[in-house]
Amino acid sequence: MLALTHLAEYNGCKQVFKEVKENFGLKWHNRRYTFDFLDKTNINEMLDGIRETIQLLPSKYANVIVYDVLTGLRARESTKSIRLIQSQLDNYLNRDRMILEHYRFKTEFLRKTKNAYISIVTPSMLEIAKKADPNYEAIKGILRHNNKPSNINFARKIFATYMHDNSIPTEIIDTLQGRTSAGMFSRHYYRPDFNRYAERVRRLIPKLHKELE
């Protein structure tokens, strides 16, 4: 990347090189890589933490955490999603596919590289959302009062790990969690049968829900 940048400057085509980088998802990476894989919190430990959090909360707040885990959305996106289910479900839910169409609400869900386009749902998930109160300040207040960590950050990690452990491709998980893949393969060549994977995800959701009980 450094050599190409210097070459573009030397040849006077910096703008062309900028367009190439954007089109093909080329990025600078300046990271320190350490092998901490074995030290990370595993899915069983995260499930224990989420269960403890759920048990401490009134059901209307516990439902928020459950919904977070079952969709894999970010906390902010989950809040918006729950409120849309409660207020505009007919404009939000594709009933034929049982998919929440976040992309219909661009200002709420589409932000540069953080683009949550859709979520796969089940009827029971919708009922959980309808009975939820997405007030994270209240949730954090209850947990602080009990001197307990929130563990809310485990929700997305549990969803991603559980789906991956059950053979859902990384690209599908990235799509459901609102990560825009910059890789050339994902952007230009990967064309899965999404309906088939959506059905597999939908069958896994009740099993993941049982893990939270």
The enclosing domain of 186 has a CATH number of 1.10.443.10
Shared-domain flag, residues 15 and 64: no
What 3-state DSSP class applies to 117? coil
- Sheet order of strands, 118-120 included: 93-94, 99-101, 118-120
Shared-domain flag, residues 49 and 29: no
What is the percentage of the chain residues whose pLDDT exceeds 70? Answer: 89
Domain housing 12: 1-34
Shared-domain flag, residues 106 and 162: yes
Shared-domain flag, residues 48 and 21: no
Shared-domain flag, residues 12 and 81: no
Query: Residue 133 above 80 pLDDT?
Result: yes
Shared-domain flag, residues 1 and 104: no
Confidence of residue 191 (pLDDT cuts 50, 70, 90): confident
Number of domains in the chain: 2
Shared-domain flag, residues 138 and 114: yes
Q: Can you give the pLDDT at residue 30?
A: 60
Q: Can you give the pLDDT at residue 137?
A: 94
Q: What is the pLDDT of residues 141-190, one digit of tens each?
A: 999 999 999 899 999 999 999 999 999 999 899 999 998 665 656 666 66
Q: Can you give the pLDDT at residue 34?
A: 64
Residue with the larger pLDDT of the pair 125 and 179: 125
Q: Can you give the pLDDT at residue 193?
A: 87
Shared-domain flag, residues 19 and 76: no
Provide the whole-model pTM: 0.80
Q: How far apart are the first and last CA of the chain?
A: 49
Shared-domain flag, residues 71 and 136: yes
Shared-domain flag, residues 24 and 127: no
Q: Which of 194, 188, 189 is nearest to 169 (CA)?
A: 194
Shared-domain flag, residues 10 and 109: no
Q: Which of 148, 141, 147, 158 is nearest to 67 (CA)?
A: 158
Q: Can you give the pLDDT at residue 35?
A: 60
Contacts of 27 (CB under 8 A, 6+ apart): 21, 182
Q: What is the pLDDT of residues 20-37, one digit of tens each?
A: 887 777 776 665 556 666
Shared-domain flag, residues 126 and 203: yes
Q: Can you give the pLDDT at residue 209?
A: 98
